[in-house]
Amino acid sequence: MKNIVTARLTLRPISLADVDAVHELWIDPDVRRYLWDNLVIPRERAEQMVRAMIAGAERNGRGMWLIHEQGADEPCGFCGFIPRDEPDHAQLIYGLAPSAWGRGYATESARAVMEYGFATLGLPKIAAAADVPNTASARVLERLGMRFVRREIVHGIDLLFYEIENSLLPGAVSTESPHTPRR
């Protein structure tokens, strides 16, 4: 995986050095509400997930990126693919720190990751899910051109499922060499 650069953001592949920053983001009450079903996960669970994301990236190129505003050292969010082994599609996931809400970063980063999935990984389809009350996330998925496919209760959570077939999305991104800026 390489860095992805958009007009306003740099997305860099997640690493074990990011566990503390990711854990802090994932336990934020506004982030965890829809990401972890409002559970405060221990740092060890965050590390397990980061390890799984790194393993997925090594296995099939489907990993996670941390979102940085251009020139910023601290991440303002994450975007990538949930570790799964389905060969026919990947599941998109993203989240932003509340301080980054309302700026279009979710759409911008998700579009770049989807472009990467289609153009670089050759994915035939990308799927995503949003909790029914998370209307902001559903709007992002619709702005990305994803189509609603079903509503389903999974493990007691009412979810909306979306997907998009492989096609190049509008908007250019570039990939840099996979250098990792350190704090």
pLDDT over 90, % of the chain: 58
Cα distance between residue 138 and residue 13, in whole Å = 25
Domains of the chain by residue range = 4-173
Residue 181, pLDDT above cutoff 60:
no
Query: Under a CB-based contact definition with an 8 Å cutoff, are residues 110 and 94 in contact?
Result: yes
Predicted confidence at residue 18, as pLDDT, reads 94
At position 31, the amino acid (one-letter code) is V
Threshold 0.75, pTM exceeds: yes
Residue 180, pLDDT above cutoff 90:
no
Q: Map tokens 């759409």 to a residue.
A: 107
Residue-wise pLDDT for 77-124, tens only, equals 999 998 666 666 789 999 999 999 999 999 999 999 999 999 998 888
Predicted confidence at residue 183, as pLDDT, reads 30
**What is the CATH code for 4-173?**
3.40.630.30
DSSP 10-57: EEEE--GGGHHHHHHHHTSHHHHHHHSTT----HHHHHHHHHHHHHHH
